[in-house]
Structure 1
Amino acid sequence: MYDPTRLAALVAVAEAGSITRAAERLGYTPPALSQQLAKLEREAGTPLLVRHHRGARLTGAGELLVARARRVLDELERARHELARLTGLSGGTLRLGTFQTAGVHLLPPVLSAFRRAHPDVELTVADYEPPAGVAAVAAGEIDLALTHTYEPADPVPVPASVVLEPVLVEELVLVTAPGHALADATSRLPLSELAGQPLISMAPDHPARQGVEAVLARAGATASVLVETPVYALVCALVSAGLGVGVVPEMVARTAVTPVGTRALEGGELRRTISVARRAEGATPAVDAFGALLRGAFARA
């Protein structure tokens, strides 16, 4: 039996004319989408696409399968809509909170999938720098919040009415200007080699960063520039300009707009955990459905 996700991938390529454009539409990376298509071709036992320098086109078998796939996907969409009416997902509002990195790089594909499955639910999204999103959930201002904590750091109290579900743990990595000597290696960098390095640092009084800053200070890194608001894009831009080095979550380094060199740090004890905050009781069907989509998306990430 064919996987509906892979059928949808094939339809997207047929409509977009290339794997790259289809991947952007679906919220995948091109390599990840190529893997899904390769699995579908193995299931079909025949090539479905012909890649060329301008994109990709369907083979005869691909055209046949796309025609059937559209019917299957249309039926599944109807089924989702009918089930939504039965489970209370045919209306109402889902209020979401997120911090910047997750909001830009992880949340949009999930929002898109939720909207396709439940088009009648109104979505609102607000920015909450952690841990403000947890407090907003506790106060009933929003239904779900993406938040994060750092290690090492002092634990942040969580209201008894709120449940935190970790969905992604990522290491912090070194970012440097392109070509910097510290980034010119594949081995993990000992923290001791940061001694004397000018550090583009988050403000030391930022609660989520205090433990990380303390570890870097013990290693001998010296603050060069303090970024008083927690905006990693600015940290990476200053690093890229050669004003110092930085230590940021791996996702931030991978998606930096400005060019940076990266290197993993020895020990791996500097980490960021991304969690979903929701109320412990009284979850609505929309909250449950969106939470399930989030878990699936973060597992792929």
Structure 2
Amino acid sequence: MYDPTRLAALVAVAEAGSITRAADRLGYTPPALSQQLAKLEREAGTALLVRHHRGARLTEAGEVLVAHARRVLDELERARHELARLTGLSGGVLRLGTFPTAGVHLLPPALTAFRRAHPDVRLSVADYDPPAGVTAVAAGEVDLALTHTYRPAEPTPVPASVRLEPVLVEELVLVTAPGHALGSVSSRLPLAELAGQPLISMAPHHPARREIEALLTGAGATPALLVPTPGYAVVCALVSAGLGVAVVPEMVARTATTPVGMRPLEGGRLGRTISVAYRADETNPAADVFRALLRGAFGRAGRGTAG
């Protein structure tokens, strides 16, 4: 079954004539939209787009799928409006919390779908460094918050009134400068092969990263640069410049704004789970609908795969 979010992405490219212009329209980054289109092509089993220097055009298969996609999306739009009337989503406010990576790559497409279905609901977005978003949900500052936990790490206590629903599970991967020997093959890298490698250390005293950094240095990686706050864009830029290697979430590596090599690590010991926090003792139709959108857009694709 085709994912409606990916069908909407294909329709947007067909109308805009360019992945970049379609990404702007949908609230994606171009790399994130390209990932959605690549997944749709895998589902379809054939190429749907031909990229060229002026943008992108549909293949014959793409034309066929777009015609059907428009009808499907129109029906879903009508269904959303009917459900909105039933659930009373004709006004009010939905307050969301996020952290930087999710705010750039996960939140915009879900917000776009929500706004399209429920244009009368006012939206607000606040930035929280995990786990502060969970605290904000418990305090009633926001209705939902995207947050994350790392593996391995000591579990962080969650207030009794809050539930965490995983929406995306991804591995941590090695990023290197382009052409680096460790990034030139696709097989999984044993951690022992990091021995002697200059490591750009990510906030080794930050609770989310402490055990990961200890594991990397225990494998013999040599701390070369310290980034005291968890700023992945800076880390990837330093890696790209050849100042060392780093271990980051797969989504960060795939959407880095600077060119980096990427290689999966052996054993599946390092990972990150992105979850949505919500109050379990409260009925909030808008928050429930938004959680469902997050599940539909990212839950199936993210589990077991790739601030």
TM-score normalised per structure 1: 0.84
SS of residue paired to 1:170 = strand
After TM superposition, list the pairs within 5 Å mapping 1:33-112 onto structure 2. 33=37, 36=40, 53=52, 55-56=56-57, 66=67, 73-74=73-74, 76-112=76-112
Runs of 5+ unmatched residues, structure 1? 43-48
- Report whether the alignment pairs 1:139 with 2:165: no
Residues 1:262 and 1:91: Cα distance change in structure 2 (over 3 Å)? same
| Partners of 1:19 and 1:56 within 8 A in 2 | no
Give the stretch that moved more between structures: 2-11 or 95-104. 2-11
Q: Is the CA contact 1:10–1:37 (under 8 Å) kept in the aligned structure 2?
A: no
Give SS of 2:268's match. coil
1:167-204 deviation per Cα after TM superposition (whole angstroms, max 9, x unaligned): 21111111111111111222211111111221111122
- Structure-1 separation of matches of 2:20 and 2:169: 28
Identity of aligned residues (%): 73
Specify the alignment match of 1:219 in structure 2: 219
Deviation at 1:17, TM superposition (A): 3.3
SS of 1:242's equivalent? coil
Distance 1:267 1:80 in 2: 43
CA contact (8 A) 2:5 2:297 kept: no
Query: C-alpha separation between the residues in 1 aligned to 2:42 and 2:294?
Result: 25
CA-based RMSD: 3.2
Structure 2 residue matching 1:157: 3-state secondary structure: coil
What is the rounded CA distance, in whole Å, between the counterparts of 1:180 and 1:57 in structure 2?
36
Distance 1:215 1:91 in 2: 49
The 8 Å contact of residues 199 and 244 in structure 1, kept in 2 or not, is answered as yes
Measure, in 1, the Cα distance between the counterparts of 2:86 and 2:34: 36
- How does the TM-score come out when normalised to structure 2? 0.83
Structure 2: 5+ residue stretches without partners: 303-307
Partner of 1:206: 206
SS in 2 for 1:267: helix
Q: Which residue is equivalent to 1:121? A: 121
Measured in 2, the distance between the counterparts of 1:6 and 1:253 equals 21
Contact 2:94 2:286 in 1 (8 A): yes
Q: Is the 8 A contact 2:188 2:263 kept in 1?
A: yes
Q: Return 27-36 or 246-255, whichever deviates more.
A: 27-36
Cα shift at 1:4: 6.9
Displacement over 4 Å in runs of 4+: 2-11, 18-28, 34-42, 49-54, 68-76
Tell which deviates more after alignment, 137-146 or 32-41: 32-41
Per the alignment, do residues 233 and 69 of structure 1 end up closer, same or farther by CA in structure 2, a change over 3 Å counting? Answer: closer
Counterpart-to-counterpart distance in 1, 2:50 and 2:16 = 13
Q: Is the 8 A contact 2:172 2:271 kept in 1?
A: yes
| TM-aligned CA deviation for residue 72 of structure 1 | 7.1
Q: Which has the larger radius of gyration?
A: 1
